[in-house]
């Protein structure tokens, strides 16, 4: 079966999923919905996916996104991590892994795999999500998609660079970084 990845310009699919938001007893879980992505306060969303909890590459990425949490917050951007594991597995992994205990963003649980499938990022053999990253504007429109092979971790600095470029709403040349001149026509 061929993956049809949702692309730039498309509305991010509707969803209602459980997420792990804390490791504090009784406060671990919260419901996240696609309605929370569309807002009047001009907030962007970065949703990044990893294949499996309790693996090796995934926690390096999750920890790096967490280290950069304030960078996303400073850009009025909501950060959401996601995989096809359950909220219970997410919670156990957060409690178990030192680098994940202090996460500042939710870990969305797509246990039905329906959102990963609708996004076109469900790997066909193991039925896990590819390492995908979506930048979604305040109107719920996908503005950037990046997908990596299961074995290769992504570059969080590049996600921030692209977010900065998109938020300028101007023409940004190759390797452009925040603070540099944009192109004029």
Active site residue 174: no
Residue of 125, 62, 121, 113 whose CA lies nearest to 84: 113
Alpha helical stretches, state H, 17-86? 57-67, 69-74
| Contact by Cβ (8 Å): 68, 27 | no
Name the catalytic one among 21, 47, 58, 108.
58
CA distance 20 to 58: 16
How many Cβ atoms are within 10 Å of 173's Cβ, its own excluded? 10
Element (H, E) at 19: strand 16-20
Q: Write the burial class of residue 88 (CB in 10 Å: 0-12 exposed, 13-18 middle, 19+ buried).
A: middle
Phi-psi region of 75 (alpha: psi -120 to 50; beta: other; left: phi over 0): alpha
Active site residues: 58
């Amino acid at each position: 079966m061929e993956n049809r990845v949702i692309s730039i310009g498309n509305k991010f699919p509707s969803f209602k999923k459980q997420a792990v938001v804390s490791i504090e007893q009784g406060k671990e879980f919260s419901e996240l919905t696609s309605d929370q992505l569309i807002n009047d306060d001009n907030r962007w969303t970065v949703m990044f996916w990893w294949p499996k909890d309790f693996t090796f590459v995934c926690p390096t990425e999750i920890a790096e996104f967490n280290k950069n949490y304030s960078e996303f917050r400073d850009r009025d951007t909501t950060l959401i991590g996601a995989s096809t594991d359950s909220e219970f597995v997410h919670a156990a992994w957060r409690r178990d892994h030192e680098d994940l205990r202090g996460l500042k963003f939710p870990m969305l649980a797509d246990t039905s795999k329906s959102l990963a499938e609708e996004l076109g990022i469900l790997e066909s053999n193991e039925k896990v999500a590819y390492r995908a990253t979506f930048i979604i504007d305040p109107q719920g429109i996908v503005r950037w998609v990046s997908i990596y092979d299961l074995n290769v971790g992504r570059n969080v600095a590049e996600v921030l660079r692209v977010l900065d470029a998109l938020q300028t709403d101007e023409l940004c040349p190759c390797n452009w970084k925040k603070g540099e001149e944009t192109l004029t026509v």
